[in-house]
Structure formats: structure tokens, C-alpha cells
């Protein structure tokens, strides 16, 4: 058994810890859990931290339990929310649970002989509890005064909050507390971990265990991952960065990490990779000497992408990145087979043009605006051409350029580009 708490500490992943937790974990192989909300059918990289914590926990010789909140997801956690949440209907909840389960299984080892991971759904034990039982056996142990003292509740009761809080959300912490109690009783689970916003909910659990079972349970929270520029971690203009390849392609996923700022990268390499302390320190030093090489960002991107999507997806992401950002030429583009080409430009907006148009030679104004809608107006197209902003198949073109048959890539496409980052595909139909 290695020192799990120390591991979190040097990685900057320790926010709050209950007294005696570290000592207990050093002496006993312990079962510990983290809950995941099935609010969508995929987790995003915000949840990745929690998953990796469980993985570290397992690596340290303890038993990780991933709890999917099938029941609590029906109630809604008020923590960190300023307004009442919408409830999910049962069908989408079920779909989400399945999706989240599948993703968790990728990261944790469920077949270890020593300390296999386990996946549980709190709906399984919550569904049979009657309201009367719950109120008598659980509610009796926790005072409303105690519950009201939690930040998540206080914030919503204070005058700052314009909306009130429903009884449903008020009850949430008792539900989560009961989960902890249940796992404590049934699986000898003595530790709950989670984001720093979960501290209140977790301590309701340890309190319940103390009063109802005269037991001792422990808690660890990890800090919220932040970005140096103050924007929200895990968000792009396109929305959340998901772990599901269908929602966020491995290429975009890799790019997200690659684009991290230097300051963030020094934090992220500790949080999101399993490299040891020496390796990370060496990398950081090297990175500071040659920041333009972006060793840290590349390493993080590599480790996390492989961990999440596998080696092959990572290789493709690299290939795509080189084509999009490297010094690739139209020759490189033309050498691609159709499948790879489509993978790389997956999600790029496109429009169809007829084969005849190409055969007859398509002028640039038509290709950019009149026939495709890539740019808003012919005037804008003319301006862009004048600004030297337009490329066809990665090569800059002038207003008099005409697209012809020889420009077709992968049998049916022509790649248009405005500036460096705006791509558009013409599909020859």
C-alpha cells in the first residue's frame, strides 16, 4: 500500500481532508467511493478528475467504488447551483446511467484479484425504501439545524438568492448521506471522495454513520480544476469537452489539452497524468527552458487521449493535427484516403456542389459564397480574397483562381479555408 493522501497532496489534488484519514488509509486497505451524476449520457473532462482519483486510490492498494446516482440524479444536487434544477425523466436518466457506466469501466480495473473496482447504482437500494422508513430511520438522526448550516443550503436561503429552494433539493444531502451509510454497512466503505463542493454532502454522510451506526468514516475532497485566465475548465465555444468520442472527437479532445496555457499545463500534468514526481519535475524544467516546444501540453494530450480513447485514436489525432496545423501541402492532403480525410475533417461545415460546376471550373466567389454559404455575402468573399485569407487545399489563392477537377481530394471533396482556423468542405455530388 502506498500513501494515497501524499500522492494527492503533491499533485495538488487535496482540498480538504477529515482528521485521521491519512493514518487510517496507511494502515488499512479501505473501500472508498465517489459519486457520479447521470445528468448526461456522457461524462465530461470535469469528471475526469474524480475518475483519476479513484484510479490513484486503486493504484495505492485500496478498493474504489464508483457510484452512479440513479436515485440522487432524480432529486438534484443543489451544491453550486443558484437555481432549482430541472428533473430528468426516467427514460433519459436510464440512458445516461448506461452511458456513464460504460465510460467508467474504461478507466478502472474491475478484475483485480486484490482490490477490484466496483460499480454501484444507488437506485438499487433507494427504490425500495418507503418514505416512512426513510423519515423514521434516517431523518431522525439528522437535525434540520444541521442541514441548514451547510453552505449549499445557506446560499439558497440567503437574500442573495432570488429563487427559493424546494424541499426536494433540501433533502438531497440526506440522500447522499444515506448512500454513504449504506455503502458503509454493506461494503465496509469508509471513505467518500468528491469535488470540493461536495464537502457538505459528504459530512452529512459521516455524521449519519456516526449517529446511526456509531461508526467512523472519512472524507477527502479535491479542488475544482481551474484555468489561469478565469474561464471555466472543460468548456470551449462548442460546449463541454466530453469523454464520449461521438460527442467530442478524439482530435478535438487532444486539441483541448494541447491548447492549455503554460501555467495551466504545469498543474494539469500533475492532475491528469500518472507520471511520477521526478518525471514531471524534469518535464516542467525542460518546458520552462524551451516553452515554444510545448512539451507539457503535448505530454498531457498524449497521456489523457490514450487513456480516454486509446492509442489508435491518439495517433489519428496527431495526424489530423499535423495536417491542420503543420506545414502540410495539398500533396499531403491528396495522399489521404477518404476515411482518414473524413475523420480529420469530421464536424467541419460543408456544402454540396454539382460535379458539373467543378468540371466547368468554379470561380472563387461562387465557391465561397454564392453556391455554398461559407461566407455571408459575395462582398465578404471578395474582401477575404483581397486580404489574402483564402486557401484551397491548404494553398493560398487569389480572386482569379478557378477550382477544377484536379483540385478534388479523396474523390469528392475540396477543402476551403479562411485564415488558419476556419475550414469548409465542398462535397462534390
Can you give the binding site for RNA, defined by CB under 7 A?
A: 255, 258-259, 261-262, 291-292, 294, 297, 321, 325, 369, 376-380, 382-384, 387-389, 418-422
Cβ 330 to RNA shortest distance, Å: 16
Give CA–CA dist 335/345, Å, rounded: 15
Give long-range contacts, CB 8 A cutoff, 24+ apart: 406-411.
407/330, 407/358, 408/358, 409/330, 409/333, 409/334, 409/336, 409/341, 410/336, 410/337, 410/338, 410/341, 410/342, 411/338
Question: 169 vs 266, which CB is nearer to RNA?
Answer: 266
Q: Cell for 242?
A: 466530453
The vertex-242 CA angle with 240 and 243, nearest 5°, equals 165
Quote the cell numbers at residue 117.
473496482
Give whichever of 242 and 253 is closer to RNA, judged by the CB atom: 253
Measured from the CB atom, the residue of 152 and 248 that comes closer to RNA is: 248
Tell me how far, at minimum, the Cβ of 387 lies from RNA, in Å. 4
Select 236 or 240, whichever has its Cβ closest to RNA: 236
Closer to RNA by Cβ: residue 57 or 424: 424
CB-nearer residue toward RNA: 140 or 383: 383
H-assigned helices in 68-222 = 90-107, 123-126, 131-133, 144-148, 151-157, 167-187, 199-213
Residue closer to RNA (CB basis): 212 or 287 = 287
Rounded to whole angstroms, the Cα distance separating 324 from 421 reads 8
Toward RNA, which CB reaches closer, 42 or 255? 255
Q: What length does the chain have?
A: 429
Buried b (16+ CB within 10 A) or exposed e, 297-321: bbbbbbbbbbbbbeeebbebbbbbb
Q: Give the shortest CB-414-to-RNA separation in angstroms.
A: 18
The smaller minimum CB distance to RNA, of residues 174 and 369, is found at 369
Q: How far is the CB of 43 from RNA (least distance, A)?
A: 24
Q: What are phi and psi of 195, to 5 degrees?
A: -65, 160
Do β-strands 118-121 and 63-68 pair in parallel, antiparallel, or remain unpaired? parallel
Q: Are 345 and 249 in contact (CB under 8 A)?
A: no
Q: Least CB distance from residue 403 to RNA, whole Å?
A: 18
Q: How far is the CB of 253 from RNA (least distance, A)?
A: 12
Q: Are 175 and 168 in contact (CB under 8 A)?
A: no
Minimum gap (Å) between residue 45 Cβ and RNA: 17
Q: How far is the CB of 347 from RNA (least distance, A)?
A: 15
We find the least distance from the C-beta atom of residue 306 to RNA, in angstroms, to be: 16
For 215, the 3-state DSSP assignment is coil
| Nearest-angstrom CA–CA distance, 375 and 366 | 10
Q: Is 273 left (phi over 0), alpha (psi -120 to 50) or beta?
A: beta
Amino acid at each position: 500500500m502506498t500513501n494515497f493522501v501524499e500522492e494527492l497532496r503533491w499533485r495538488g489534488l487535496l482540498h480538504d481532508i477529515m482528521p485521521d484519514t491519512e493514518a487510517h488509509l496507511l494502515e488499512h486497505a479501505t473501500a472508498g467511493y465517489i459519486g457520479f451524476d447521470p445528468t448526461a449520457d456522457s461524462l465530461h473532462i470535469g469528471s475526469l478528475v474524480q475518475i483519476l482519483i479513484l484510479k490513484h486510490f486503486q493504484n495505492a492498494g485500496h478498493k474504489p467504488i464508483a457510484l452512479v446516482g440513479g436515485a440522487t440524479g432524480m432529486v438534484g444536487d443543489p451544491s453550486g447551483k443558484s437555481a432549482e434544477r430541472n428533473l430528468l425523466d426516467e427514460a433519459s436518466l436510464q440512458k445516461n446511467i448506461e452511458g456513464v457506466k460504460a465510460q467508467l469501466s474504461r478507466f478502472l480495473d474491475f478484475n483485480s484479484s486484490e482490490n477490484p473496482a466496483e460499480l454501484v447504482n444507488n437506485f438499487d437500494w433507494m427504490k425500495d425504501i418507503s418514505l416512512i422508513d426513510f423519515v423514521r430511520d434516517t431523518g431522525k438522526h439528522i437535525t434540520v439545524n444541521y442541514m441548514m448550516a451547510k453552505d449549499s443550503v445557506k446560499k439558497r436561503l440567503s437574500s442573495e438568492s432570488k429563487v427559493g429552494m424546494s424541499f426536494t433539493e433540501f433533502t438531497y444531502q440526506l440522500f447522499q448521506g444515506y448512500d454513504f451509510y449504506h455503502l458503509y454497512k454493506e461494503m465496509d466503505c469508509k471513505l467518500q471522495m468528491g469535488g470540493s463542493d461536495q464537502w457538505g454532502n459528504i459530512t452529512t454522510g459521516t455524521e449519519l454513520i456516526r449517529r446511526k451506526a456509531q461508526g467512523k468514516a472519512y472524507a477527502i475532497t479535491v479542488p475544482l480544476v481551474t484555468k489561469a485566465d478565469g474561464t471555466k475548465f472543460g468548456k470551449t465555444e462548442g460546449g463541454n469537452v466530453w469523454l464520449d468520442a461521438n460527442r467530442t472527437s478524439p482530435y478535438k479532445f487532444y486539441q483541448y489539452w494541447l491548447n492549455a496555457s503554460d501555467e495551466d499545463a504545469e498543474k494539469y500534468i500533475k492532475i491528469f497524468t500518472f507520471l511520477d514526481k521526478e518525471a514531471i519535475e524534469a518535464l516542467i524544467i525542460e518546458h520552462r527552458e524551451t516553452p515554444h516546444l510545448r512539451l507539457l501540453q503535448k505530454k498531457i494530450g498524449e497521456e489523457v487521449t490514450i487513456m480516454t480513447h486509446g492509442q489508435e485514436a491518439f495517433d489519428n489525432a496527431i495526424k489530423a493535427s499535423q495536417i491542420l496545423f503543420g506545414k502540410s501541402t495539398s500533396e499531403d492532403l491528396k495522399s489521404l484516403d477518404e476515411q482518414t480525410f473524413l475523420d480529420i475533417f469530421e464536424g467541419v461545415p460543408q456544402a454540396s456542389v454539382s460535379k458539373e460546376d467543378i468540371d466547368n471550373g468554379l470561380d472563387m466567389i461562387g465557391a465561397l459564397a454564392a453556391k455554398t454559404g461559407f461566407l455571408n455575402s459575395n462582398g465578404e468573399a471578395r474582401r477575404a480574397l483581397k486580404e489574402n485569407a483564402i486557401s484551397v487545399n491548404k494553398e493560398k489563392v487569389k480572386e482569379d483562381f478557378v477550382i477544377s477537377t484536379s483540385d478534388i481530394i479523396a474523390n469528392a471533396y475540396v477543402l476551403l479555408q479562411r485564415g488558419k482556423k476556419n475550414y469548409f468542405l465542398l462535397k462534390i455530388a
